[in-house]
Amino acid sequence: MTDSVPAAPLDRPDRTNPDLRVDGARLWASLTDMARIGATARGGSCRLALSDEDRQGRDLFVGWCRAAGCSVTVDGLGNIFARRPGRENHRPPVLIGSHLDTQPTGGRFDGVFGVLAGLEVIRTLNDLDLTTDRPLEVAVWTNEEGARFAPSMLGSGVFAGVHEADWALARTDADGVSVAEALRQTGYAGDAPVGGRPLHAVFEAHIEQGPILEAEGLVIGAVTGAQAQRWYDVTLTGVESHAGTTPMERRRDALLGAARLIDLAERTARAHGPDGRITVGVVAVHPGTRNVVPGRVFLTLDVRHPDDAEIDAIERALRDGLKGICAGIGLKGAMTPLSADAAVTFDPALVDSVRRAAAGAGYRARDMVSGAGHDACHLATFAPTAMIFVPCVDGLSHNEAEDARPEWLEAGATVLLRAVLDAARL
């Protein structure tokens, strides 16, 4: 820890004061309470976007925010905003946000930590009877994960102007339920406009979802940006035929084509250096019976790289490879882009504020680039934005075994508190 310094006046807290910290036990208790909603048998969480479990999590959060004296509004995409007034309440707010939805077999900290760390900032300021110059808002963004509705980061994307609201509301899940229908079913079809208002600064705290911080014995990552990310839907169409009577050389096997494409994806990612990432997360085979040569396969491609030029080259390699695979087997192939997010650079001044806030609390911040997409990536196109990472055990995330130590989460929320106070000054 740093040496002690005199405490600042309560109306002007000094972010370098090492005694300025959140209540880590209260934060952990809130995380534990939220984790009970949608709890899985293996210790994780399942709160798919706009499911009943997501509704329950939202209701719990809204209740906590109102108890903390915040006003709550919900916009037309179901994004929730809990507002704590400032001295200059007409000024654009400092916004803290993340998400409460999870993967089907997700963990207890992905997203939810960033939301409840924001709430803990509000509660700590209430404890200290502090009023910031600018108002503060804690946001819950709709469908960040993209597990139920594609693409991911849907609510923040509409807020930031990346997606059109009507297009987002029309997105459907595997059962044909649209975002608009799910919002009505959960009671979170709000009437506030989506976006269109200025934000002074945006912060998102998050577990790293990778192994670097823990491996280096550090607890704070100052995130300088995020890598580019693109999603594609791929369909390969051949001919269904009898498994016993169709000679191998006469088959137009769509699954064989998919297997070759998956292998190509693996080789292409590795060919573009250690930062190349390609994932096939969904494969659907038609008709899906033992004794029929598959006539159609649908699969998804998640492509990532921190360099926009490299991700362009990866896409060309995949498209060219798909054409060759289809020609060799006699298939038809289509590779349709679903979303394309360029590499993101976060606001240098806010990133530096995170570094200073960490130093004031006695932590060394490591600069990092996020390998995952976050709501902050969309918001960075709209307002000055920064992220704070804390470790997760073994770098494991999107997994029921996802874990984080209470002291790591307290450290991240404390750095968040200090950075927010810095940004909320006039």
Residue set of the binding site: 99, 110, 145, 206, 398
Distance (Å, rounded) from C-alpha 339 to C-alpha 158? Answer: 13
Contact in structure between 79 and 141 (CB atoms under 8 Å): yes
Q: Phi first, then psi: what are they for 91, rounded to 5°?
A: -75, 155
Dist. CA 383–CA 361, nearest whole Å: 26
In the chain, the amino acid numbered 93 is P
- The residue type at 44: G
Binding-site sequence positions for Zn(2+): 99, 110, 145, 206, 398
Q: Which two tokens stand for residue 105?
A: 């077999």
Place of tokens 């404390």: 414
- Label residue 69 left, alpha or beta by phi (over 0 means left) and psi (-120 to 50 means alpha): left
Residues 276/305, Cβ–Cβ less than 8 Å:
yes
Residue with tokens 């899940």: 173
Largest Cα separation within the chain, whole Å, is 85
Angle between helices 112-127 and 24-35 (to 10 degrees): 140
Report d(CA 190, CA 50) in Å as an integer.
13
Evaluate whether 12 touches 6 at the Cβ level (below 8 Å): no
Q: Which helix (H) or strand (E) holds 229?
A: strand 228-237
d(C-alpha 376, C-alpha 226), whole Å: 9
